[in-house]
Amino acid sequence: MSQRPAGVSVPVRVRPGAGRTRVGGRYEGPHGPALIVAVGAPAVDGKATEAVRKALAGAIGVRPGEVSLRLGATSRDKVFTVTAAPGSWTARLADLRDSG
């Protein structure tokens, strides 16, 4: 019987209401170096959080179901958990965090 991986924490700084979705850049946030994710969705009723979850999954190449919010439901500083097995997505995450 195999166990599902516990997951990797990914700090994110959200920029809601942006003109377009963009994933990249680094922000020194309260949860450590965070990936900046700009989304067009407003910061209302969890719409921006859901848009960020999907944008993050797409940017690092994992299924949206493998990304879940762990901390920061009502904050611009969030922590997501990625449960996909570490692999090429971790390198893409590092590249995105260093871009911008």
Q: Would you say residue 3 lies in a domain?
A: no
> By the 8 A CB rule, do 64 and 54 touch?
yes
CATH number for the domain spanning 27: value is: 3.30.1200.10
Q: Would you say residue 66 lies in a domain?
A: yes
Q: Would you say residue 93 lies in a domain?
A: yes
Q: Sign of the CA dihedral 93, 34, 48, 8?
A: positive
Q: Would you say residue 91 lies in a domain?
A: yes
Q: Would you say residue 2 lies in a domain?
A: no
Query: Residue 2 pLDDT > 60, yes or no?
Result: no
> By the 8 A CB rule, do 54 and 23 touch?
no
Q: Would you say residue 22 lies in a domain?
A: yes
Taking only the tens place, the pLDDT of each residue in 50-81 is 999 999 999 999 999 999 999 999 999 999 99
Taking only the tens place, the pLDDT of each residue in 29-51 is 999 999 999 999 999 999 999 99
Instruction: State the total domains in the chain.
Output: 1
Give the type of residue at 28. Answer: E
Q: Would you say residue 36 lies in a domain?
A: yes
Residue-number span of the structural domain to which 93 is assigned = 8-98
Q: Would you say residue 46 lies in a domain?
A: yes
Rounded Cα gap, residues 24 and 50, in angstroms: 17
H-run or E-run covering 49? helix 47-60
